[in-house]
Amino acid sequence: MSDNDDPDRSQPDAQLAEFEKRLNAKLEARRAQESKYDRPNSNGWAIGFRYGTEFIVGVLVGAALGFLVDRFLGIAPFGILIGTLIGFGAGTLNVVRAAKELGERSQR
Amino acid sequence: MADTNPITQFEIHEVAPLEVAGLNLAFTNSAFFMVLATVSVTLLMALATNKRALVPGRGQSVAEILYGFVADMVRSSAGNEGLRFFPFVFTLFIFILAGNMFGMFPYLPLPIHGVDNHGFTITSHIIVTLTLSMLVMAIVVGFGVYKNGFNFLKLFVPAGVPPVLYIIVTPIEVISFLSRPISLSVRLFANMLAGHILLKVFAGFIVMLIATESAMGLVGILPFFMVVGLTALEFLVAFLQAYVFAILTCIYLNDALHPAH
């Protein structure tokens, strides 16, 4: 491809480079503008609900497992007690993971 | 005041009765809306992509944007390896999205006999969302064991923890893993259920106020504006919850691909 065939492309290289520089600056500004709008990609209620369910479900599953252990091993009420405690741990872990993941997503 | 009961919308009706070996396998309005969502999405996608134009038309751009959106979602949370699950995640996302959006019709006149005219949101029933999340978990466990074998259990034994603590950490990790399908399904179901009840409660206020046949009827304009606002919010929730379900599916699939981390 020789640039001389095309009358539109016969501009000096310096002018072209200048144009590219301006274009890149504009594009960068545009991207910065857009990323500002991207950040709150879900509303607060959805995030709050997410944390809430993650925590409560952890506790409930822990308690349910403890209850089952009670039923099958006949060690009531220790299974449900320990199960609920571990469930609290699991719920907290779920919330920490959710927060980490949401934080990573909003940073990008 | 015909029906201002906000939970009538969740009732299941039989459309075509069918009983196999004592099991009631009737085709219900819920099943009807699932078929409606699946068929309409399939037709839309087939129609949008059948031209395969180099410069996409309007329909094809919609299909391509959807494809790009889901592909980005899969790639960003499960990596390029995760793209083998792209058809699954895409189907899941589009099915939930279509189900939620069909649920946004408060009144859907259908020519089919037996199908009630009120709308129905398939994702407002926990049995539907739990089935979907169990499907996700079955794939995560099945693929995780198939690909990593015994190493899949490393998911429950995080690295960098002193061995003594495994007595506590492993049960916590197990419960955290078991809670995933439940939180995944409860979130979608509760959001759709709560939103639709809220909509119908406020819509019921309008009917009740106008039924007083007095000046009180004019106050009905207030819940009307509320319903308009809530409908917009519900469209956002319908999309957002489908998105959240799909992105969490990707994150869980990532665990099946790389259990040790």
ipTM score here? 0.75
Chain A residues inside the 8 Å CB shell of B178: 61, 65
Q: How many domains does chain A have?
A: 2
Chain A residues inside the 8 Å CB shell of B172: 86, 89-90, 93
Verify that A57 and A25 share a domain, yes or no: no
Verify that A33 and A77 share a domain, yes or no: no
| Paired sense of beta strands B14-16 and B27-28, if any | antiparallel
Burial of residue A99 (number of CB atoms within 10 Å: 0-12, 13-18, 19+): middle
Verify that A46 and A99 share a domain, yes or no: yes
Residues above pLDDT 90, as percent of chain B: 44
Residues above pLDDT 70, as percent of chain B: 95
Contact between A58 and B176 (Cβ < 8 Å) = yes
Please judge whether B251 and A101 are an interchain contact, meaning their C-beta atoms are less than 8 angstroms apart.
Answer: yes
Six-digit token string for B58: 């309007």
Verify that A29 and A54 share a domain, yes or no: no
- In eight-state DSSP terms, residue A27 is H
The beta-carbon neighbor of B183 closest among A42, A54, A65 is A54
Verify that A30 and A59 share a domain, yes or no: no
Q: What is the pLDDT of residue A40?
A: 47
The beta-carbon neighbor of B175 closest among A42, A87, A97 is A87
Q: What is the pLDDT of residue A39?
A: 47
Verify that A8 and A25 share a domain, yes or no: yes
Least Cα distance to B158 among B259, B232, B252 occurs for B259
Verify that A32 and A46 share a domain, yes or no: no
> Which pLDDT tens digit goes with each residue over A27-70?
888 777 666 555 445 567 778 888 999 999 999 999 999 999 99
pLDDT band at B115 (very low <50, low <70, confident <90, very high): low
Q: Please give the span between the terminal C-alpha atoms of chain B, in angstroms, as a whole number.
A: 59
Helix (H) or strand (E) holding B35: helix B29-49
Nearest Cα of chain B lies from the Cα of A10 at a distance, in angstroms, of 29
Verify that A3 and A25 share a domain, yes or no: yes
pTM: 0.81
Q: What is the pLDDT of residue B260?
A: 65
Q: What is the mean pLDDT of chain B?
A: 87
Range of the domain at A103: 42-108
Verify that A23 and A52 share a domain, yes or no: no
Alpha helices by DSSP H, B50-85: 58-78
Please judge whether B172 and A57 are an interchain contact, meaning their C-beta atoms are less than 8 angstroms apart.
Answer: no
Please state which of the ranges B62-71, B112-121, B227-236 shows the lowest mean pLDDT. Answer: B112-121
- Of the two residues B245 and B11, the one the predictor is more confident about is B245
Nearest Cα of chain A lies from the Cα of B241 at a distance, in angstroms, of 8
Q: Give residue A44's Cα distance to chain centre.
A: 14
Verify that A16 and A58 share a domain, yes or no: no
Contact between B256 and B155 (Cβ < 8 Å) = no
Chain A residue with minimal CA distance to B171? A86
Verify that A2 and A52 share a domain, yes or no: no
Give the residue numbers in A contacting B (CB under 8 Å), as ranges. Answer: 42-43, 46, 49-50, 53-54, 57-58, 60-62, 65, 86-87, 89-91, 93-94, 97, 101, 108
pLDDT band at B116 (very low <50, low <70, confident <90, very high): low
Six-digit token string for B260: 């040790």
Verify that A51 and A10 share a domain, yes or no: no
